[in-house]
């Protein structure tokens, strides 16, 4: 049976089955070969960013324009009726009457799920606080499949902030569908939450916890670096203690496998030294570029155009 994602909101990566995820990745592959496709033909997509974003917003808007669509929306709440105290339900109801699809980033956790229940048009979650960021997960999966040729049976090393990093949580959940083995490298204060670890245990998959990055590098297919996010720390002193825990340097990759690739959701601060950038194993900028194709694929699928 053919897979259709028409009118299916994407709020959490687990909303889509592994087959549906692979379907989106196949379409993204097609967009990478041929990004200019006038499928939207003037349709209107609302881009509602209740908090600032660089990559996610720009790559969504690029994706929409490559598909021949128009964008309405805002990139911060300044000057909008939200500042006058309008409820999220009212904002979404109004925008849903203007646009064919809503892309929303909002710092309130669960806001995207709620918006999808209020809206008469589908909603794509572009990040809801520390909760979910499924389109980032989709482009991470695309990047992993593209560099490794498969999503199956890979060894994924996750480094840095495994506690607050929502991209890490979604990626673990998604990769559990593909028989991955996980290496978890983090300071004790930033270990993967037990609720996320439970996904690995539920599937009887292997995982190892490390405090030294060097110990995990030699057997990794993917090294997924993350920024230690200052904004997620309730206590600034705690942030100071762990902020420089892991820095990946070019020489450290000498011990890595030939197929190993370094990913990072960006922005980076200092956790990947700039001397890694020229190494062919550094893949984070291509990864960000893949975000456009993954988002094109999602928009086109959800609108029933692919």
Partner 1 sequence: MEKRKELTVSAIENGTVIDHIPADKVFQVVKILGLDKVTTPVYFGTNVESKKYGTKGFIKASNKYFAPEEVNKIALVAPTASIIEIKDFEVIRKQTVSIPDRIENIVKCFNPNCVTNKEHDVPTKFVVIKDAEGNIKLHCHYCEKNTTQDKLEFI
Q: Are 66 and 40 in contact, with CB atoms under 8 Å apart?
A: no
Return d(Cα 213, Cα 219) in angstroms, integer: 12
Q: Is 133 a catalytic residue?
A: yes
Q: Is 166 a catalytic residue?
A: no
Counting Cα atoms < 13 Å in the Cβ hemisphere of 199 gives 20
Window of 122-130, 134-142, 261-269, 291-299 that interacts with partner 1 by CB under 8 A: 122-130
Q: Which of 55, 113, 203, 232 is catalytic?
A: 55
Return d(Cα 256, Cα 185) in angstroms, integer: 16
Q: Is 56 a catalytic residue?
A: yes
Q: Which of 116, 256 has the CB closer to partner 1?
A: 116
Residues 58-77 that bind partner 1 (CB under 8 A): none
Residues 132-161 that bind partner 1 (CB under 8 A): 132
Return d(Cα 108, Cα 100) in angstroms, integer: 23
Min separation Cβ 195 and partner 1, Å: 6
Q: Which of 111, 301 has the CB closer to partner 1?
A: 111
Closest CA to 287 of 268, 306, 302: 268
Return d(Cα 261, Cα 263) in angstroms, integer: 6
Answer yes or no whether residue 164 interacts with partner 1 by CB under 8 A: no
Min separation Cβ 117 and partner 1, Å: 9
Answer yes or no whether residue 304 interacts with partner 1 by CB under 8 A: no
Q: Which of 128, 161 has the CB closer to partner 1?
A: 128
Min separation Cβ 229 and partner 1, Å: 15
CB atoms within 10 A of CB 85: 7
Return d(Cα 179, Cα 76) in angstroms, integer: 40
Which amino acids are annotated catalytic?
A: 55-56, 84, 105, 133
Contact residues: partner 1, CB under 8 A: 12, 87-89, 107-111, 113-114, 128-132, 195
């Amino acid at each position: 049976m053919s897979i259709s994602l028409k009118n299916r909101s994407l709020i959490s990566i687990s909303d889509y089955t592994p087959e549906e995820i692979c379907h989106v990745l196949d379409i993204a592959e097609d967009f990478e070969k041929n990004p200019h496709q006038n499928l939207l033909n003037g349709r209107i997509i609302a881009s509602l960013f209740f908090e600032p974003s660089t990559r996610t917003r720009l790559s969504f808007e690029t994706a929409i324009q490559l598909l021949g669509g128009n964008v309405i929306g805002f990139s911060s709440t300044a000057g909008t009726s939200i500042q006058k105290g309008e409820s999220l339900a009212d904002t979404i109801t109004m925008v849903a009457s203007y646009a064919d699809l809503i892309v929303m980033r909002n710092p309130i956790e669960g806001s995207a799920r709620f918006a999808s229940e209020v809206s008469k048009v589908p909603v794509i979650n572009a990040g809801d606080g520390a909760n979910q960021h499924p389109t980032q997960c989709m482009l991470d999966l695309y990047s992993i499949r593209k560099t490794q040729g498969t999503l199956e049976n890979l060894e994924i090393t996750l480094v840095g902030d495994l506690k607050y990093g929502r991209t890490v949580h979604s990626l673990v959940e998604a990769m559990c569908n593909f028989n991955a083995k996980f290496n978890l490298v983090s300071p004790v204060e930033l270990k993967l939450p037990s609720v996320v670890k439970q996904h690995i245990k539920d599937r009887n998959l292997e995982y190892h916890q490390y405090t030294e990055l060097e110990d995990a590098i030699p057997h990794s297919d993917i090294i997924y670096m993350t920024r230690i996010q200052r904004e997620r720390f309730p206590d600034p002193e705690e942030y100071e203690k762990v902020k420089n825990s892991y820095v990946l340097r070019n020489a450290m990759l000498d011990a890595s496998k030939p197929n190993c690739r370094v990913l990072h959701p960006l922005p980076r601060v200092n956790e990947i030294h700039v001397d890694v950038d020229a190494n062919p194993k550094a893949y984070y900028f291509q990864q960000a570029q893949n975000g456009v194709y993954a988002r094109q694929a999602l928009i086109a699928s959800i609108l029933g155009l692919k």
